[in-house]
Every structure is written in structure tokens, then in C-alpha cells.
Chains A and B, each alone.
Chain A
């Protein structure tokens, strides 16, 4: 598993745990304990789970597992992937933790565009020959 995928996946798990702690607090507070948290908890919970958990997991797994190039760097240039990694996680924190919703969502969109640019040419038939039918 390449380094970028390991970072994506560990960040995904970190967002899952942090977002779930906020969600557990929100749910339990409906039952009277603990006290109702501030309103930004809900926005952070949604952002961390929908963008932080799912998008980091999908990008990390895709970078690891999509068919590799036969010439040049096997997984393509690292620049767009590193940019996607940084922009996505900065965006989640900005949008979810009261920084700037518009700015955070814009960073998430830029991350998606950068990752799509990277993955576009890797979405193709595998270069490995298919197993022969018996």
C-alpha cells in the first residue's frame, strides 16, 4: 500500500472516530445526558463523516488499487494526489469546524477535481491478462 494511501486511510479513520464521537454526543444529548452541545457539533459531525471519512477512504483505496501505468511512475505523478489530500482535509476542517463553509467546500471541490485529474487515465482495463477460461 503506497504512502499516500496510508495517509488517506488513517485520516479517514481519524475523521470516522472524531465524527462519531460528536454524533454520539448529539444522539445521547437527546436523551438528556450529556447536555446539548453547541450547534457547530452537528455541522462538524456531518462534514467529518460524509467528506472526511468517505472521501478520504475512497481516494486512498482508489490510489492504491486502480490499474497502474506500464510506463513512467506506476501510479502517475504524485502532485495532484498530494494536493487532493491536503485540500480535502483542510476543507473538511474549515467547513466543519466553523472556519468558512464556502471556503471549506471550495477546497473539497478542488480536491475532487485534482483527484479526478489523477485517476482519469488509471480508469481503464488492467494490463494484466485475464485468467483463461477452463
Chain B
């Protein structure tokens, strides 16, 4: 398993744990925490984007047929995707539940969208017959 896939998979596991802990904390707080009472979208996106999509990316970068010989392949787009996705997701996690920080949400949205566009563009040519 290449280094990029290992980082993606381990980070995905961290998000899974974080999401499930948040899933416990939200109902446990019972509406007494301003952050937790509006953190439902963060919980969903930690699971779907941080856990599922990042784990899928780990396996896809590892297992999908390469479009070019292995020696010529660059992991740079994959690392860019990793950095942008996690920067965007973490920024979203600390800003979305707090109204005073909502001015940073367009940046979080752009970071996550850029990561997805890089992921799709990198994987598209690797979807091919042998």
C-alpha cells in the first residue's frame, strides 16, 4: 500500500472515531452546548467526507489501474487532495456550528470542492480496461 493511501486510510479512521464521539456528544449535551446543538451537519460530513470518501480515495489510489507506468506516476495531485480536503473539513468543523465564524465558510467550501475536483480528475483516467 503506497504512503499516500496509508495516510488517507489512517486519517479516515481518525474521522470515523471523531464522528462517532460527536454522535454521542450531540444528544448527550441535550441542547446545553451552543456548539453541539448545531453540529449535526459537521457530524454527517465527518462521516461521509472524512471517513467514507477519504477511505474510498485511499483504496482507489492504491488499487485502480494506473494510466501510466508506475515509475512515471506522481502522487502530487493525491497529496494536494489530501491537504485541501482535510484543511477544508477541519475549518468547517470549527466554523459551521458558530454563527460568528460563518464568514470563513466560503473558504472551507472552496477547499473541500477543490479537493474533490482534484480527486475526480486524478481518478478519471485510471478508470479503464486493462
A24 touching B109, Cβ below 8 Å: yes
B123 touching A13, Cβ below 8 Å: yes
Partner of A54, one of B52, B106, B116, B120: B52
Residues of A within 8 A of B102 (CB): 30-32
Residues of B within 8 A of A28 (CB): 105-106, 109-110
Residues of B within 8 A of A1 (CB): 65, 127-130
B113 at the interface (CB under 8 A from A): yes
A30 touching B96, Cβ below 8 Å: yes
A49 touching B48, Cβ below 8 Å: yes
User: Considering the chains assembled together, what is the distance between the CA atoms of A68 and B53 in angstroms?
Assistant: 27
User: Considering the chains assembled together, what is the distance between the CA atoms of A42 and B92 in angstroms?
Assistant: 17
Interface string of A7-38 (1 = CB under 8 A from B): 00110010011001101110110111100000
Residues of B within 8 A of A3 (CB): 129
Q: What's the least CB distance linking B38 to chain A, in Å?
A: 11
Q: What's the least CB distance linking A30 to chain B, in Å?
A: 5
Partner of A13, one of B105, B113, B124, B130: B124
Interface size on B, residues (CB 8 A): 27
Residues of B within 8 A of A54 (CB): 52
A17 touching B117, Cβ below 8 Å: yes
A13 touching B56, Cβ below 8 Å: no
Residues of A within 8 A of B53 (CB): 16, 53
Q: Given that A17-B117, A30-B96, A50-B48 are contacting pairs, would A2 and B105 also be in contact in the complex, using a CB cutoff of 8 Å?
A: no
Interface size on A, residues (CB 8 A): 25
A24 touching B110, Cβ below 8 Å: yes
User: Considering the chains assembled together, what is the distance between the CA atoms of A13 and B112 in angstroms?
Assistant: 15
A31 touching B129, Cβ below 8 Å: no
User: Considering the chains assembled together, what is the distance between the CA atoms of A20 and B88 in angstroms?
Assistant: 13
B120 touching A17, Cβ below 8 Å: yes
User: Considering the chains assembled together, what is the distance between the CA atoms of A82 and B130 in angstroms?
Assistant: 21
B103 touching A32, Cβ below 8 Å: yes
B108 at the interface (CB under 8 A from A): yes
A6 at the interface (CB under 8 A from B): yes
A57 at the interface (CB under 8 A from B): yes
Q: What's the least CB distance linking B81 to chain A, in Å?
A: 12
Residues of A within 8 A of B65 (CB): 1
Q: Given that A10-B124, A50-B48, A54-B52 are contacting pairs, would A25 and B109 also be in contact in the complex, using a CB cutoff of 8 Å?
A: yes
Q: Which 9 pairs between the two chains have the least Cβ-Cβ distance?
A: A31-B105, A28-B106, A24-B109, A28-B109, A24-B113, A27-B109, A20-B116, A13-B120, A31-B102
